[in-house]
């Protein structure tokens, strides 16, 4: 096997050659909003230097995106503005435009000698990239920029359990090259295109039709902030991770999920920074890498190989059969319209729902309980599945991510084994409020969230 797996990140998705009539190399950035460990940017610079062409980087602000709101787009804007500064320092031109469709992207791409974009495993963007690659005269490359491994290296088919990939992931850690550098651009690209300013990005965002009611977030977007949070995690939290990461009343998670989702930080950098100070033999490192690498890479495998990743059809047969068998079981509580508002009898569930709605990030462990209770309280388990996907994508700052789709699917039995049969759930794993009380100080969690809610939010549902 190649000693550096990073070269396997790059794949050509059309049968075109470089367009000799092209004016520039075109990097259509999707979720690579960083300079450090940006493998797409690295490849784009090398391609531009080799062909002796300027490099143009483009980001399209899609209007009318599913569940788009100010919370997501403010975080995105913060990352874009910082990315602009980084590109200017490298003498690389950047264009940010609001788009309703991909006509503008095509207009830029058709003038390119080669097109490069970030590999995105979700079908929406993937379909757009494939459609564009068919229309243009130039070669089109995708770069796996936000995974630790190229997806086919670990398992070239859909995984059913995390254990299928765990050993390979840990055994191959050293095959991902640790050092990263960017060539200097041979051509000052800023001389070929209009200069983009922070104010220009602000103007493009002002054109968007967003849900402005959902606005508050706990985190600031951008590469610098991601680096700061990583440093704090390594220095103050990692040593206690195994013991406390499932205790939401404490804060010992990495808080990196949104930064990974928007591409403000690479998992390769996260791993490398941790391994500079510790090793896989440390139980805390192993536990954290199990989340960062095993489950995150599993989520990429899931959405890449299963076209039904966003709906109940992705579930294993046993899970669908057992949930269907128990669909008419009597529920002690039935809710639906009350769920989004967090108005159930369960104060623990209400707390985590409101934490997500108003603060943009639900405690990791509570996400499992949150989903399980929606199954229990909803008359139709299929409707519960759709609702969970929608609400996760709408409110979570790291929504619309493979990890979120995997989390919902896991709650219905995917990547899990059958358990003792019981009402409503059948053989799907069950979680109870008493289990939360045994595992950690759930009352302190409620107090902690309520304190944050009291100072940072306004009611979204009641006038």
What backbone torsions phi and psi does residue 306 show, to the nearest 5 degrees?
A: -120, 110
Q: Are residues 102 and 235 in the same domain?
A: no
CATH of the domain at 355: 1.10.579.10
- Do 130 and 9 reside in the same domain of the chain? yes
The domain boundary, picked from 102, 120, 146, lies at: 146
**Total of domains in the chain:** 3
* CA neighbor of 405 nearest in space, from 275, 325, 315: 315
Q: Are residues 373 and 444 in the same domain?
A: yes
Q: Are residues 275 and 331 in the same domain?
A: no
Dihedral pair phi/psi, residue 182, rounded to 5°: -110, 135
Contact 311, 412 (CB under 8 A): no
Same domain, 363 and 448: yes
Q: Is residue 177 a part of any domain in this protein? A: no
Same domain for 404 and 274: no
Range of the domain at 46: 1-146
How do beta strands 93-99 and 112-118 pair?
unpaired
274 and 400: one domain?
no
Its sign, for the CA torsion 257, 30, 215, 312, is negative
pLDDT digit string (tens) for the chain, length 463 residues: 445 788 899 999 999 999 999 999 999 999 999 999 999 999 999 999 999 999 999 999 998 888 889 999 999 999 999 999 999 999 999 999 999 999 999 999 999 999 999 999 999 999 999 999 999 999 999 999 999 999 999 999 999 999 999 999 999 998 888 789 999 999 999 999 999 999 999 999 999 999 999 999 999 999 999 999 999 999 999 999 999 999 999 999 999 999 999 999 999 999 999 999 999 999 999 999 999 999 999 999 999 999 999 999 999 999 999 999 999 999 999 999 999 999 999 999 999 999 999 999 999 999 999 999 999 999 999 999 999 999 999 999 999 999 999 999 999 999 999 999 999 999 999 999 999 999 999 999 999 999 999 986 677 886 5
CA-to-CA distance for 164 and 157, rounded, in angstroms?
A: 11
- Same-domain pairing of 65 and 82: yes
Predicted TM-score (pTM) of this structure: 0.97
CATH number at residue 269: 1.25.40.80
Question: 49 and 118: one domain?
Answer: yes
Is residue 191 assigned to a domain?
no
What is the C-alpha to C-alpha distance for residues 233 and 241, in angstroms, rounded to an integer? 9
Domain assignment present for 82: yes
Mark whether 256 and 396 lie in a shared domain: no
Same domain, 355 and 441: yes
Taking alpha carbons only, the member of 105, 122, 96, 103 closest to residue 196 is 96
């Amino acid at each position: 096997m190649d000693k550096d797996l990073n070269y396997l990140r790059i794949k050509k998705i059309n049968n075109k050659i470089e367009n000799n009539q092209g004016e520039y190399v075109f990097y259509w950035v999707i979720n690579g909003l960083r300079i450090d460990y940006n493998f797409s940017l690295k490849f784009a610079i090398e391609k531009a230097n080799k062909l002796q062409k300027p490099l143009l980087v483009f980001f399209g602000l899609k209007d009318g995106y599913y569940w788009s709101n100010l919370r997501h787009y403010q975080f995105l804007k913060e990352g874009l503005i910082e990315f602009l500064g980084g590109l200017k320092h490298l003498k690389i031109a950047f264009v940010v435009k609001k788009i309703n469709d991909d006509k503008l992207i095509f207009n830029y791409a058709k003038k390119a000698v080669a097109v490069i974009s970030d590999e995105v495993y979700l079908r929406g963007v993937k379909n757009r990239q494939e459609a564009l690659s068919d229309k243009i005269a130039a070669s089109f490359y995708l770069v796996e920029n936000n995974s630790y491994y190229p997806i086919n290296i670990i398992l070239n088919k859909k995984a059913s359990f995390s254990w299928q990939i765990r050993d390979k992931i840990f055994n191959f850690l050293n095959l991902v090259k640790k050092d990263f550098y960017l060539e200097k651009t041979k051509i000052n690209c800023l001389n070929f295109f209009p200069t983009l300013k922070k104010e220009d990005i602000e103007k493009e965002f002002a054109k968007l039709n967003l849900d402005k009611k959902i606005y508050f977030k706990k985190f600031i977007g951008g590469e610098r902030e991601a680096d700061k949070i990583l440093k704090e995690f390594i220095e103050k939290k990692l040593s206690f991770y195994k013991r406390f990461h499932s205790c939401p009343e404490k804060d010992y998670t990495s808080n990196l999920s949104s930064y990974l989702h928007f591409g403000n930080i690479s998992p390769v950098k996260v791993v490398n920074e941790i391994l500079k100070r510790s090793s896989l033999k440390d139980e805390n490192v192993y536990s954290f890498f199990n989340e960062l690498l095993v489950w995150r890479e599993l989520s990429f495998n899931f959405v890449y190989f299963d076209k039904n990743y966003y709906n109940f059809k992705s579930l294993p047969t046993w899970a669908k059969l057992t949930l269907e068998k128990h669909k008419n079981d009597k529920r002690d509580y039935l809710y639906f319209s009350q769920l989004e508002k967090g108005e159930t009898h369960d104060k623990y569930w209400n707390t985590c729902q409101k934490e997500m709605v108003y603060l943009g990030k639900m405690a990791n462990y509570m996400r499992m309980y949150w989903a399980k209770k929606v199954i229990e309280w909803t008359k139709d388990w299929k409707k519960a599945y759709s609702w969970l996907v929608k609400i996760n994508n709408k409110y979570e700052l790291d929504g619309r991510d493979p990890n979120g789709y995997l989390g919902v699917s896991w709650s219905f039995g995917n990547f899990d084994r059958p358990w003792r049969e019981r009402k409503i759930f059948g053989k799907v794993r069950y979680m109870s409020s008493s289990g939360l009380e045994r595992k950690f100080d759930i009352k302190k969690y409620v107090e902690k969230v309520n304190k944050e809610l009291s100072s940072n939010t306004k009611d979204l549902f009641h006038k």
